[in-house]
A and B are shown apart, each in its own frame.
Chain A
Amino acid sequence: VKFPGLLDHVPCASALVGHVVSPDPEPRLHGYEVRGDLAKNVSFLDLGWLALTGQLPTDAERAAVGRALAWLSPMHVGEGPAHAAVLTRVAGAPDAVLPGVVGVALGQHTAAEISTANQLFAWLEGREEAPAAWVVHEPNAADLAAHDDLVRASIDWFDVPLPARPVLTRVAGAYALFHRLGIVDPVRLHALSAWARLPVLLAEAACTRPGSIASYPTRLPDYEYVEDR
């Protein structure tokens, strides 16, 4: 028996709307043929930037986004998304869900970063103080060298370079570059974070044997169960 439904007669669109990749047999990315043009003539970094902005990068943009992604990429196994990647493997998850679980962890982590980044962006626009959590309050020589080098490079990349002080953390430096590159919306910041970090996180997962519970620090952190009487 067929039952009529409320949605049977609701006016609705008849096609999926796409804006990035054409559904042609020879797909194009924002109009550029992939195999015949992009793959031969530009780097994968250029292609990613093209995907997110619709334009191929200038030399300055290429250098800046490459620097930002590199600064953002490392996450050690004690950090949430990398820990989640390892735990997913330890729990014996199917390979097919691994990127999804890691993506959830990274999405949560990046969302928290973006809430701080909004403060950073306001500071870069002269509206607020720099977020304290993203400032290195007692920088060592490596912090100073990396930050000063980034500031110097930003003079060549942008009309308005990054402020010389305070010294920013590695993650803050990356987000400051995204701001100067004109990307401050959450979805594309998530995309940049995933682009930078997913290979690193999945590599950590690859180095973890599925089901390896014996070598995983189960009691880190430890929990004690209590009941209220």
Chain B
Amino acid sequence: MSKITRVGIIGATDHRFLGRSVFGDLNRESTHPGDPLVLALTMGATLDADDREALRLIAVCTTSPDARIWPLKLCRLLASHGDATAGFFGAQLVAGSGQMGPGVSRNCAEGFVYIAEHSDDDAALETAVLAWRDRFGGRFPGFGVALRAQDERLLAIRRLVAGTGLEGRPFWRLQARVAEALAKHGTGEPNVVFAIAALLLDVGIPAANCGLVASTLMTHVYLAQAIEAARDEGPDLHAMPASVVDYRGAPPRHTSEPVDVQLHPALHRVHRP
């Protein structure tokens, strides 16, 4: 049973990775520790200076390292028994969320691709934008800003893109038009995912991979939290006191006395035999 892979192979004196010899080509091309990771993110594509700047901007501007942010608190919780690896990798499983966080970049990017294919003029673009928005329950992926009026990360990326070679790229220009179209319909504010999706598509990342690539570019935030939590967190996170638990489940009852109780709707069955 033999299958084809284009990722790589271990050789006797050198290895191959995504079309390159490791100790020769990859060694020569890599001027930064993150370069092999970027090579993997793009599955071996050759990047120009603007492409690398786009990835750099995403990595820098998505550095949102507050320990209280939910996936990062999860990271600390998982690492709190002293295992940073469990926290680092375990918490990042949530990154595939299509609802919030970097994983939404996929749905957003797929929307941009769809809109690009259905936007011969402004009216067609608006129709396509609204169709994609409605496909996601009335909220375009990448729209919605929690806790503040505007997403400072998006504003920062827009500011840093202005006047560079990234500004004229097709999906960057498209995201601005999409944002305008959505603004007319009062659907809230775009968040950083909007910029990430456009930048990644312009680099040539397939839309289906944009969530994973965006998540990977943010791993440094998880890494630092995991390292600190493995060192510093402990019993107070393992078992919080009952006094901070607002229990809303069934009241005390006994198996000897069947009684009906109000249960959370998520526990209801579609029918009872």
The contact of A76 among B12, B100, B245, by CB within 8 Å, is B245
Give chain B's interface residue range (CB within 8 Å of chain A).
35 or more
Cβ contact within 8 Å between A207 and B266: yes
Residues in B with CB closer than 8 Å to A107 are 86
Is the C-beta of B78 less than 8 angstroms from some C-beta in chain A? yes
Name the residue on A nearest B21 (C-beta): A3
Chain B positions 3 through 47: 1 when the CB is less than 8 Å from some CB of chain A, otherwise 0: 000000111100010000000000000000000000000000000
Does chain B have a CB within 8 A of A78?
yes
The answer to whether B242 touches A104, judged by C-beta atoms less than 8 angstroms apart, is no
Within 8 A of B (CB), among A201-229: 203, 206-207, 210-211, 213, 216-223, 225
Choose from B9, B78, B83, B101 the contact partner of A84 (Cβ within 8 Å): B78
Report A-chain residues with C-beta under 8 Å of the C-beta of B78: 84, 101, 104-105, 108
**B81 and A97 contacting across the interface, CB-CB below 8 Å:** no
Binary flags per residue of A166-182, CB closer than 8 Å to B gives 1, else 0: 00000000000000000
Chain B neighbourhood of A142, CB < 8 A: none
28 A-B interface contacts by CB (under 8 A): A6-B10, A7-B10, A80-B77, A80-B237, A84-B74, A87-B71, A87-B73, A90-B70, A91-B70, A91-B74, A91-B97, A93-B93, A93-B96, A94-B94, A94-B98, A97-B96, A104-B86, A105-B77, A105-B78, A108-B78, A108-B81, A108-B86, A109-B238, A112-B81, A206-B264, A207-B264, A218-B69, A221-B237
A88 interfacial by beta-carbon distance below 8 Å: yes
A144: interface (CB < 8 Å)? no
Measured between beta carbons, the chain B residues less than 8 angstroms from A87 are 70-71, 73-74, 77
**Chain A interface (Cβ < 8 Å from any Cβ of B):** 3-7, 76-80, 83-84, 87-88, 90-94, 97, 100-101, 104-105, 107-109, 111-112, 203, 206-207, 210-211, 213, 216-223, 225
